[in-house]
Structure 1
Amino acid sequence: MVGLSQHIVTGVKPLVLKLGRRFYHLLERLNLPVKAWEWPASPSRVPELLREGQWVGMIYLDIVEFQLTEQVYGSLYCQQVLGILDRLVKKQINALLEPYSLLETRRWGDDLVIYFHSFSQSPPAPLDLSRLAERVKESLGTELNLRCSHLIPTALNFHVGYSVVRPTRENFEKALYNAYKEAVLVAKSQLDAREVKRRQQFTELLLNKNIRMVYQPILALDSGQIIGYEALCRGPENSFFASPLNLFGYAEKTNQLYALEKVAREKALAGLAGDLAGYRLFLNISPHVVHDPSFRADEIRAYMDQVGAAPERVVFEITERTSIEDFRTFRQSLEYYRQHGFKVAVDDAGSGYSSLQAIAELQPDYIKIDLSLIRDIDKNPTKRILVETFLTFAEKTGSQIIAEGIENSDEMACLRKIGIPLGQGFFLARPSYPPPAVYMEAARMLEENTGTGTATARQRSRLGRMIPVGSISQAVTTIDTRTVTREVVDFFTHYPQVEGVAVLDEEKQPVGLVMRDKLFNQLGTQFGFAIYTERPISLVMDCQPLAVEHDTPVEVVSQVAMARSDHKVYDSIIVTKNRSYHGLVSVRQLLDAITSIQVEAARFANPLTGLPGNRQIEAELLNRLSGEQPFSVIYSDLDHFKGFNDRYGFERGDQAIKLTATIISEQVARHGRPDDLVGHIGGDDFIVVTRPEVSEEICRKIIETFDQKVPELYDPEDRERGYIDTKDRQDRPVRLPLMTISLALIDCHPGQYTNPEELARTSAELKKYAKSKEGSVFVKERRRRST
C-alpha cells in the first residue's frame, strides 16, 4: 500500500500531464516521490468546466492493503482484479452517480478517481456527497468480490473519499490538487462529513471575499488623540469563522493563509480613502506572507496612489503565528517595503520566544507590548519593570511603544506614569465598524489628565528644563534669501562639518533651512544643477523648518523634533531669541543633551524606587524657594514600618516602600501638575512638591489608596486579625496594628522660608503630631511665618 504523499502524487501526476506543466513543477518543489505509471492520453474536460464557472465532484477509491495482496497472491492475479474493476466502473458508474453525470474516470494502480457534474443540479451537500460515495463504494465492492473470488479468496475493501472542486478562472491546478488531498484525507478517515462541509464553507468564503473588517483605535496616551487604527479580520457573523482565532487558524491548517490575508489586505486598504482618511492603518501580516508573489510593495503602493494615501500611513504588523527562521532574509525582504515608505511593527512583544529577537533583528518602527504584560500592570511591579525596559530600549532605537490590551483605568494610569506613548484596548474602544471613537470614560480621563503627563515623563521634563535648548545651540553662519545656490554649495564644500544653515530675512528672522544632504541630492537630479545653481537659495530651501525659543527645554524640543515627518526628522532645529535668529541645534546635539540629563538623573535617583534622590530634591526646593510662586510640600512617613520590617523581613519591607512610591506617584500623576516632584528622601520617607490648590486632594487620595492596598502586604491571618505580634526596640513583645501613613503638608509662600532646612524642621514637628494620631492622616501647617 503506498503512503499518503505517494497517493497524492500518483493520483495527480497523470492529470497534470494533461493540464500543463505549472502544477507538475509545484509537485516537484514538494520533493514528493513520484511513481511511474502508464498514463492515459485522453484530454480532461475538468479544467474547461472550472474555467467556465462550473463545479466538479470527485470520488476517490483505493483498495485496502492492495500492495500486501499483490505480494501474497502475485501481480498477475492482481492485474486481472484491476481489469475487472475497470469493466465494472464502465458498466455501472452512470447509474450509481444519478442524478449527476459522469465526466471521466482515472485509475492509477489501485487508485481510482471518478469525476462527475451536473449543469442543472447544485453541488451535493457534504452529507449527500458522503452517501453518494458510500453507494459507489458498496456497489463496486460487492460486485468486485463476487467476480474475483476465484482469483483472490479474501475479501477486497475500498477506502473512499470525496470532494467538490469549486469553479475558478485562475490556478485550477491548485484547486484540483487541494480537492484531491481532501478526498484522500477523507478516505483515510481523517475528515468527516462535518469537516468537509467546513472546508467547503471556507472555500466559498475566500471565493466570495465574504469577510468583514473591524477597526480598533490606537491612541496617544498623553493627549488622547487617535493616531491610527488596527484592522482586524472577521468571518461572517454567527458562523464558525466569526472568531478570528477560528478564521486564521483554519486558514493556516488548510494552507490558505496567503489567500485569506490577501482578501483582508484589500478590504482594509480600501478604507484609507474613506473611514480611515488621515489615520495610520496597522495591518496584520504573518512572517511568511512576504514570500507571497501577490504581496508586492509596488502594487500596494500603486493602489494607494489611486486612493490618494501615502505609504507612510500603512504599518505592517508582524504577528507571531509562525516563527521567523531566517531573520537575515526576512529583514532584507522587509527593507524592500520600507524603501517604498511602509512602516513596520512587531506584534505581541514579550509573549513568544522569538519576539525579543524579532525586535533586535528587525528594528521596527513600533513595538506592540503583549496584553499579558499589560494585564494588572498597576498591581505587578515585575511587569512594570519589564515594560519600562521595553520603553528604554525603544527610546534608544527610535521605536515607539504601543501597549495592547488596556482594560481598565488603573492600567492606563500606570502606563501613563511609566511614560508609554501609545495604547489600545477594550477600555479605550472595542474593535467595530465603522471605526469607533474613544469611549466616554476613557476620553474623560485622558482629557482631565492631558498636560499632566506621567511621573516618568514629568521627571524628564523637569530635568530637561535645567538645560534650555539655547545653551547647546551653535551660531552657525547664516545666509539670506537672495543668496545664490552656487554660493551655498561652495560653503558646504569648504566646511564639510556643517550639516545645515539657516536662511534669514532682512529683519534677521529665520524663514528657511538648507540641509547639506538634501541640497546635494536635489542638485544631483537630472536637471537640478542646471536649474538651481545660479538661482536664489529660497527656491530650494525648506520654508517650514522647526524653530523654537532659546529657553525651551531640550526634552520638549526633542519630543517635537521626533514628531516631525520622516523626511525631516534629522533636520537641524533653528533656535530663536525673541523671534530673532540665535543658532542651530543638530539632532545629534539634542540627543547627547537628553542622554546626559538621563544619566545625571539616574546617578542621583534612589536605587530602590528610581525616584529622584536628595540631591535632586534639594535642587528643586532651592529653585522653588527662589521663585515668586507659592508651592506646597508634602512629607510622608509610614507608621509601624519597623515592626512590619522586623516581622516579615527586608524583602517584604522593600515591597512596602515600593508600594508607597507607586501610590504617591500615581496620585500625583492624576491630581497634580506637570512640574510636580515626587522624591524619595530615604527609607520610608517621601516628599511631594506641588501646587497649593491640589495639595490637599493629593493627600486625601494617597491616604485612601494606601489604606486600601497596604493590607495586601500582610499574611492572611495577620490581615484578618488587623495586627501583628512583634517586639519593640527594648525587645519586649508588642502588638502593632497594620501600617498607616502620616502626611505633613506645608504651604510655602514667596519669602516665607529661606532654605530647605527650615522646611525640614517644620515638617518634622508636623509629622510627629500626625504620628500621634491613630490611622492614616494628614496635617497641615496653619501658622503663617512672618516674612
Structure 2
Amino acid sequence: MNPGNIDHVLGPANDVRFAFQPLINIRTGAVVAVEALARPADGHITDFFREAARQKRVGELDVDLAVSAVDRAHEQQSLLPLHLNLFGGTVTHESHRLRALHDKLAEVGRRATEITLELAPPFSRLDTRKLRSEVANLRSHGYRIAVDGVGDGDIPLTLLAELAPDAIKLDRAVIEGLPANAGQAALLESLQGLCNATGAILIAEGPEREEQLTALRAAGVRVVQGNLLASAARRPPTSLQIPEAVAESGDSYGGSKPTPAGPRVTEFLSPATMLSRDATADSVRGVLADHPEISGVVLVDEHNRPEYSIDRNRFLLAVTGPYGHALHAQRPAARLADEPRLVNTATTAMEALTLVSGADHTRVHDDAIVVDEAGRCLGTVRAVHLIRGMAEFKAEQAAALNPLTRLPGSDAIQRDVDARIAAGEVFALSWLDIDGFKTVNDTAGFSAGDELIRSVGRTLTDAATSLGSVRVGHVGGDDFLLVADLDDLVNLARMVLDPPRRAGGIDVTLSLSTLVCTQSGTTSYQEASRLLVPLKKHAKSLTGSSWVMSRIGSDRIDVLRGSHEDIPEQGEPGFPTRDPDPAPPRPDAPGPRHRDGR
C-alpha cells in the first residue's frame, strides 16, 4: 500500500480482495449468510482506514469497500444473504454515500432485504438521534441492521435498545472465557434475553474450542461465525450445510422463548432464494442449474411477499423432459409453481411439520416459507430440519419427565412462568403437595405411596388436558407445580382437591398454595417460588384438603379450603383478576390478559 495516495487506497479492483466467511445455524448446520471480509494484498485493512482518516475520507473508503464486496459476491455467483461492514459514523454523517450501494445492488440484481449492514463502533460520540433516523431510512429500503462488536465496543445499552437491530453480534472477547468465566456466562445470558425480548438474532463470533460451542448452544445462541466451523475463503461456500456444526443428539439448547409444543420455526430458518413472480422458467432453470445446493425458489412480488413456491425436483423434471424447454422456457415459471406453504415467526416446528406433511403426498418434502407480520419472506424451513428438531425436542422432553408420573420437571414450569412474565400476563403459580406423605410410606409401604403419586399425576394430566391454560410439573417426591390463567383456577382446584383419596386404607388430603402473579409485581420465577414457601406452610397448618391464596405485594392470605378449629373456611375465592395497583405500562408492553371483574 502506498500511504501517500488515498485514491490508490480507494481503488478496489487490485488492492483489496475479499474473503467470505459463513454464518452458521448451529442447530441445523445450515449456512444462513456470509460476511464479506476485506483482505488487502499488502498490509492490513486498518492501515487503509488510518490513511483515509488522515485525509478525512473514511466514509468514502467505507462505502467503496461495501460496494466492492457486492461486486465480488456477484462475480462468485453467490445467492446467499450478505453481511457488509460499515462504521456507525458513516451511516450517521455520510449517508448520502450509500446511494452507491443502492445502485450497485440494483445493477447486480440483488435485493436490499438480502443485505445485513453490520454497524461497527465507535458509537459514543455519534449523534444518536441522527443515527436512529438514518437506520430507519435504511430499513425503509429493506436492509437488515446488525450491531457489531457488542461486549467490547462502546455502544451504550440504551442505544442498543433504541436501534432494535435485527442482529446483535458479540465480540469474541465475550465468549473467550466460556464456559468457566461466570461473568461472561451471565453477560451472554443477559444479551440472549434481550434478543429474545426484541426478536433479534444473537450472533457469536470467534469460538475456538468445542466447549465454547457447547456453552453457546446451552445459552440458546443459534448463529455462530468462526474458524472452528468454517474459515473465510476467497469463494463463498457452495454447500448450504456444515454437518460439523450440528450438535450431537442429546445436547440441549436453551435461551429462546419456548412453547409447550416445542421450538419455533425461526430456530431452523435458512435463506430463501427469491426471484420475481414474473421470472421465466428458463431463468429459474439457470439458477437451479448453477446452484445445485438450492432446494427450491420462492417467487415474490415487489414487496418480497411470496406468491409461488417452486420445488427443485418437480420443476426440473417438467422443464428437462421431452419438449419441456420448448413448452416452458420463455413462459412464466409460475405456471410450474405451487401455492406457497406459509408460516409466521410464531409457528412452532410441530405446526410447520404438520403443514408440510399435509394431505398432498407429492409435497411432503417442500420447504415451508417463513413470513413476517407484513407477509414478507424471511427465509425457508426445510422438512428435514423440522423432523430433526422435533426428534431432539421429544428426546429432551422424555429425558426431563419424572419416571413415576411422566410429568415434566420444574425446568418446564420455569420456562412457562418466565414466558408469561415477559408477556406481561396475570397468572397463578401453585404448589401442590400430599399431606402426611411420609406416614403413607411408613404405614402402607412405598408401593402404595408410589401409586398415590401416580394418581395425583393422572389428575393433573387430566386437568391440563381439559383446561387450556394449565401447565403442570412434578418437581420431585410429593411436590407438584401448577401454572394457570385466573379463569381456570377455580376449576383446577376443584379437579385436584375434590376427589377423595385413600392409600393403603389411609385417608389422604392435599395442600394447594396459590400465588397470583401480577404484571407489576412479578419479576422472576425465582422470586415467585420463594414467596410460595410461607403460603405452603400456612396451607399445611390447616385440616383437610386445603387451599390458600395470596398475591405478590400483599400480606393477606385467603383461606379458600381447610380450616383451623378457630378459623372458618371462607368458601368461594374472591381473588383479583388484574393487578389492582399496576405500574404505568411501557409503550411497547402488552397489557394484562384479564379484565377487571370479581
TM range (shorter): 0.3 to 0.5
Question: What is the TM-score with the length of structure 1 in the denominator?
Answer: 0.36
Asked which structure has the greater RCO (Cα within 8 Å, sep 6+), the reply is 2
Question: What is the TM-score with the length of structure 2 in the denominator?
Answer: 0.47
Largest Rg, 1 or 2: 1
Q: Report which of the two has the higher share of helix.
A: 1
